[in-house]
Structure 1
Amino acid sequence: MEQSTPRAKIVQNFPAYGVSWSPSGGDTGKLLAPDDVFGDSEGSWDGVESEGGIALLKLRQGSKTQVSQATAGLSGLTTQCHVPHQSPRAQRAGDSVRRQLTLAAAAGIKAVIFYSDNLHFLEFNPGQDRDLLPTTSVDGSEADLLLQDLAAGPVVIHVDLEVRLVRTETFNIIATTPGVTSTHLIGAHLDSVPSGPGINDNASGVAVLLETALKRAGDRRNPWRFCWWGGEEAGAQGSSRFVRELQASGGIDRIKGYVNLDMAASPNHVISVYGNDQGLEGLYTEYFQDSQQPWVREDVSVGSDHRPFMAAGIAVAGLGTWGPHQVKTDEEHALFGGTAGEPYDPNYHSSQDDLANVSWSALATCAAATYAANRAVTE
Structure 2
Amino acid sequence: MTIKTFFDIMNHMVRRSQAAVIEVVICFALVCVGVLFVPELVNAQSTAAANPGQTGGELYTPRYLPPIVQGAMGPADLVFLIYKYLMGLVGIVAVGVIIYGGVLRTVSADIGKIKQSNEYIKNALKGIVLLFGAQVIFNTINPNIINISRIQSALQPKEKITPRQFTEIGISMTDEGATSTAITAAQTIQGAVNLYGGAKPELAAKLQSCVDCASPSFGGGGTFIVKQGACFGAGCQTNRNLIAALNVLQTKATAAGLQWRMTEGYPPTVDHMSSCHFNGTCVDIGLMGSITAARVNAFINAARAAGLNVVNEYSVGSNPQSFTTTTGGHLHVRL
Structure 1 length as normaliser, TM-score?
0.19
Query: Which structure would you say has the larger Rg?
Result: 2
Which structure dedicates a bigger proportion of its chain to strand? 1
Which structure dedicates a bigger proportion of its chain to helix? 2
Q: Which has the higher contact order (CA 8 A, sep 6+)?
A: 1
